Amino acid sequence: MKIKKLEYYDDEYQWKLEPVDFWQNLNLLVGVSGVGKTRILRAINSLKMIANGASLNGVRWNVSFLSSDDCEYHWSGKFETKESTTPIDSDSANEEQVKILCETLKRNQDTIVERIQEKIIFHGQQTPKLSPYESIVELLKQEDSIIPVKEELDDIILADSGRGFDKTMLLPVSIVKKHEKSSLLSLKESDLPILIKLAILYRIFPKEFEKIKKSFVIIFPNVADIKIESLKDEDIPIALSQLLKEATTVSIKEKGVQNWIKNISSGMFKTLMYISQLYLSPDNCVILIDEFENSLGVNCLDSVTDLILDNQESQFIVTSHHPYVINNISPAYWKIVTRQGSLVTVKNAQDFHISESRQKAFIDLINVLEDDEYLDD
């Protein structure tokens, strides 16, 4: 999947994203703090949520995307805006949901399905009455013409943030058995946490794991080996023995050191997770990374950035404040985010007449962002 164009509006929070065109490989969102870069990523991720049945109050979306077989889809819709009147102790799911007022899905300009109020027209025929709270992608996901749409939208991946990486996770034996005879492709397409994917890769696809380890060792040449294994009994406090008996964690061995190191630094661990995310994401997916430099050491930034630049199959939409990241990525990939009130606009570097020279481009960018910060105040 490659997102071509997105327009998004959240009436509940009075936030609007003007139509933005995306490059098919890399998009680096830059802008002052609070301008809306992270919210753009969340808006894109919400498309996946809507496709899986989420009901989002006051949201309106309009997206065009290319599928892996080069078909162009256009999907738009609008939820009603409803003030929350649900009692705190209510357990009714419908009281929290809002209706979809209209929705359209097209493939290469041909309308597949259209919802007008509570009527759904699918390939020219009205369907029996269906839930007004769920998208047509979720409601008709078993239909042949909708299956590829659902699969493409499920390939939107919001990469774990620096605060979201857990160094220890439970890996039930049942999960390992489920994947021990599966393909690498099915593992990539699973919705398992990245550490669990890596642990399964370590056990079942050791040759593929070596590729990740090789990339990691290039960044940290003092590392001789990596292993992802279950905690041993002596490493688990007695009080937590039952809870952590299926826990798995990462250990490294450094050159010239005999013992394995279990408590690796957060920077090393996050770098390993990012490398794993790149290797273990489905092909032709959309990967969203918010300020990926957080917790990464300076020695990691260039190598991880290069991995992203070298990946030509997936579409990356990345935010960053770090001068090195911005300087290391050509202005041709910059998407400059500005905001006036609740209206967010995204433009290319060329729209601001930013120099093609990287050294001069960064100075030009600073001037643009300073002007935007002044206008925003």
Q: Which tens digit of pLDDT belongs to each residue from 198-242?
A: 888 998 899 999 999 999 999 899 999 998 876 554 443 333 334
Of all residues in the chain, the percent with pLDDT exceeding 90 is 49
Least confident segment among 14-23, 30-39, 229-238, 280-289: 229-238
The whole-number pLDDT of residue 169 equals 57
Per-residue pLDDT, 268 = 86
Higher pLDDT, residue 81 or 242: 81
Q: Which amino acid is at 30?
A: V
Residue with more model confidence, 349 or 175: 349
**Average pLDDT rounded to a whole number, residues 177-188:** 82
Give the whole-angstrom CA distance, residue 65 versus residue 75. Answer: 9
pLDDT at position 258: 87
Between vectors from CA 76 to CA 74 and to CA 82, what angle results, nearest 5°?
170
The gap from C-alpha 33 to its chain's centroid, in whole angstroms, comes to 20
* Alpha carbon 316 to its chain's center: 9
Q: Which of 24-28, 58-62, 86-90 has the lowest mean pLDDT?
A: 86-90
CA distance 31 to 25: 20
Over the chain, what is the mean pLDDT? 84
Place of tokens 């009130």: 341
- All domains in the chain, ordered by first residue: 2-155+283-376 (3.40.50), 168-280 (no CATH)
Q: What is the arrangement of strands in the sheet containing 168-170, beginning at the earlier edge strand?
A: 168-170, 247-254, 223-230
Q: What pLDDT is stored for residue 310 in this prediction?
A: 82
- Could you tell me the pLDDT band of residue 254, with boundaries at 50, 70 and 90? very high
Query: Out of 17-21, 68-72, 355-359, which region has the weakest mean confidence (pLDDT)?
Result: 355-359
Strands 125-126 and 247-254, sheet pairing: unpaired
318-349 per-position pLDDT tens digit: 998 888 788 888 899 999 999 999 999 999 99
Mean pLDDT of 55-76: 96
Angle at 296 between CA 309 and CA 247, to 5 degrees: 105
Sign of CA dihedral 192, 198, 201, 203: negative
Question: Region 243-251: what's the mean pLDDT?
Answer: 64
Highest mean pLDDT: which range of 152-156, 186-190, 244-248, 366-370: 152-156
Q: What per-residue confidence (pLDDT) applies to 265?
A: 83
Average the pLDDT over each of 13-27, 88-102, 263-277 and give the range with the smallest value: 88-102
- The percent of residues above 70 in pLDDT, for the chain, comes to 85
Alpha helical stretches, state H, the chain: 37-51, 136-139, 147-153, 173-179, 184-189, 194-204, 206-219, 266-280, 298-310, 323-328, 358-376
Question: What is the arithmetic mean of pLDDT over 300-308?
Answer: 79
Instruction: Name the band, by pLDDT with cuts 50, 70 and 90, for residue 271.
Output: confident
Question: Beta strands 286-290 and 315-319: pairing type?
Answer: parallel
pLDDT band at 295 (very low <50, low <70, confident <90, very high): low
The pLDDT of residue 245 is 47
C-alpha distances in Å from residue 103, one per residue of 59, 95, 112, 354: 12, 21, 11, 39
Q: Please, which contacts does 114-122 make with residues 24 or more away whose CB atoms are closer than 8 Å?
A: 115/77
Q: Give this prediction's pTM.
A: 0.86
- Structure confidence by residue, pLDDT tens digits, 120-162: 999 999 999 999 999 999 999 999 999 999 999 999 998 865 4
Contacts (Cβ under 8 Å, ≥6 apart) of 301:
293, 322, 324, 325, 328
pLDDT above 60 for 178: yes
